[in-house]
Amino acid sequence: MATIEEALEIERIERDIFRGASTKTQLPRTFGGQVAGQALVAAVRTVEPRFQVHSLHGYFLRPGHPDEPTVYQVERIREGRSFCTRRVTGVQDGDAIFTMSASFHIGDNGPQHQDEMPAVQSPDDLPDASTTLSLERLWMMREWEHWDIRIVPPEHVTQRVGVVSPQQVWFRYRHALPDDPLFHVCTLAYMSDMTLLGSSKVTHPDEDTQNASLDHAMWFLRPFRADDWLLYDQSSPSAGFGRALTQGKIFDRAGNMVASVVQEGLTRTLRAD
C-alpha cells in the first residue's frame, strides 16, 4: 500500500489551490487521516517557514472516493506577526468532503507544564499487531503496512478512576522519515485518525455499529518524530445518540506530551436488516 510520502503528496495547480494524489487502497472510502494530512500539507505550503502549525480543527462532511484525487482550496484568513490562520476545503466532484482551519505560530517563551505519561507496557514487550490479528483484521491492517502498531492488551491498560473506556496504543512509522519537523506533524495528523474511535468500543465490544469520523481537532505541543515510538493514550468520555466523543494524548518514549487530539465519531447501531 501507499507510503506516507505517497499518501501526503499534493500538487500545486494555482497559488492557493492544490490537488492531492489518490493512492492504492482497499478501503471503500478515502481514509480520513489522508484527507486531513493532505489538507494540512496544503495549508503549510502557503505559510512562511518561520511559522509552525500548532492546531487544526476539521470536519468530515462527505465520504471521499478513494480512486479520485481531492482538490484543496486554501483561504488565507489571517497574516499576523506571531500567528497566521488558514482555512482549507477539500473538494471532489464539486462537493466539499472536508473542511479544516489550521493555526500557525512563531514560538515564544512562557511557563511550561504537562500531564505525566501513564505507566504502560513498553512497545518492546508487545507483539507487532501484524503477528497477532485475525485474518479479517490483518487484511484491513494491510492498508497501514508501513506502520508498526502495538495495542496494549485490555488487562494491562492503565486504569484511572472515572475513565470508563480507556485504550492505549504504541505506534511508529517503520521507515526513516525526512528531518523536516512539519512533515512529521502532517504524518501525525494522518495517523491520529487511526484507532482513536476504537476507544469508544472498549466497553461495547460486541455491539455492531456503523463507524465514521465526524470531526477532528489536534494541538501540536512539542517536537517529535513519527518514526520513533509514540504512545496514544486514548479514552471515550461519552457515547450516545449514535455518536461517541473520544480523546487522546500522545507522548514520546521520554514522556514528553507532544500532541492532544479530540474527535467525535459516528457510532450508530446497525439495523437488523
Catalytic position from the list 92, 167, 193, 260: 193
Cell of 134: 485475525
Contact indicator for 29, 92 with CB cutoff of 8 Å: no
Q: Degrees (nearest 5) of the Cα angle 14, 19, 24?
A: 165
Q: What are phi and psi of 190, to 5 degrees?
A: -60, -50
Q: What are phi and psi of 122, to 5 degrees?
A: -70, 145
- Give yes or no: 263 in active site: yes
Catalytic position from the list 192, 213, 235, 236: 213
| 3-class SS of residue 87 | strand
Strand partners, 218: 56, 261
Per-residue H/E/C for 192-251: CCCCCHHHHHCCCCCCCEEEEEEEEEEEECCCCCCCCCEEEEEEEEEEECCEEEEEEEEE
Beta-carbon contacts of residue 136 (< 8 Å; ≥ 6 apart): none
Catalytic position from the list 22, 165, 234, 263: 263
Residue whose C-alpha is closest to residue 34's, from 81, 78, 100, 94: 100
Q: How far apart are CA 199 and CA 261, in angstroms?
A: 13
Q: How far apart are CA 161 and CA 164, in angstroms?
A: 8
- Give yes or no: 213 in active site: yes
Length of the chain counted residue by residue: 273
Contact indicator for 30, 65 with CB cutoff of 8 Å: yes
Q: How far apart are CA 220 and CA 44, in angstroms?
A: 14
Catalytic residues, which ones?
193, 213, 263
